[in-house]
Structure 1
């Protein structure tokens, strides 16, 4: 989890996508996340975290459903939402923090 601490301390907003490979909704979000990353370039980071491979972190953050999106900036959680999101919503949330 020390790597997670480094990631959330970034000066730019960091969007985490908590997912599983077997869930259709999380697989469908891959294209959306590519669009978000392309639209924001180096103004934000997009990071995918497999909840099955990162159970300790997922439990610590109380991830109950997938996909779950969390935005951190400067070590602080700024936004959190579970369920499918569209690229415009995610881009809007990230742009508000710049």
Structure 2
């Protein structure tokens, strides 16, 4: 799974909510086709823009608590957190240009 590290329910608060820069969390599952489509795109964006924001992924099957608390009902869901709050939510697989456009405020 490339450039993005995994985050668990147990680590979510320390790695995401208390982070000192924006954090993108990709909520995904092994069985999700669109998740597999968007994963390499996010890896590319992470390798290019990793200094501006942290890129993490969370397997919703292995970590049900966090997705449930943020009402993640469809995957892939990509949430951007800043200052402990969700500041952007992108649902569904999107092409790289579209994702970059949605994330431009955080990538500088």
Smaller-chain TM-score range? 0.7 to 0.9
TM-score by length of 2: 0.79
The residue number in structure 1 matching 2:18 is 9
Unaligned runs of 5+ in 1: none
Unaligned runs of 5+ in 2: 1-8
What secondary structure sits across from 1:69 in the alignment?
strand
Q: Partners of 1:41 and 1:62 in 2: how far apart?
A: 26
Following TM superposition, by how much is the alpha carbon of 1:95 offset from its aligned partner in structure 2, in angstroms? 3.8
Q: Partners of 2:103 and 2:18 in 1: how far apart?
A: 15
Select between 44-53 and 81-90 the one with higher mean Cα deviation.
81-90
What secondary structure sits across from 1:42 in the alignment?
coil
Paired residue total: 98
> What is the alpha-carbon root mean square deviation over aligned residues?
1.7
The residue number in structure 1 matching 2:35 is 26
Contact 1:44/1:94 (<8 A) preserved: no
Equivalences for residues 1-98 of structure 1 within 5 A: 1=9, 3-6=11-14, 7-97=16-106
Q: Which has the higher helix share?
A: 1
What secondary structure sits across from 1:96 in the alignment?
helix
Q: Partners of 1:72 and 1:22 in 2: how far apart?
A: 25
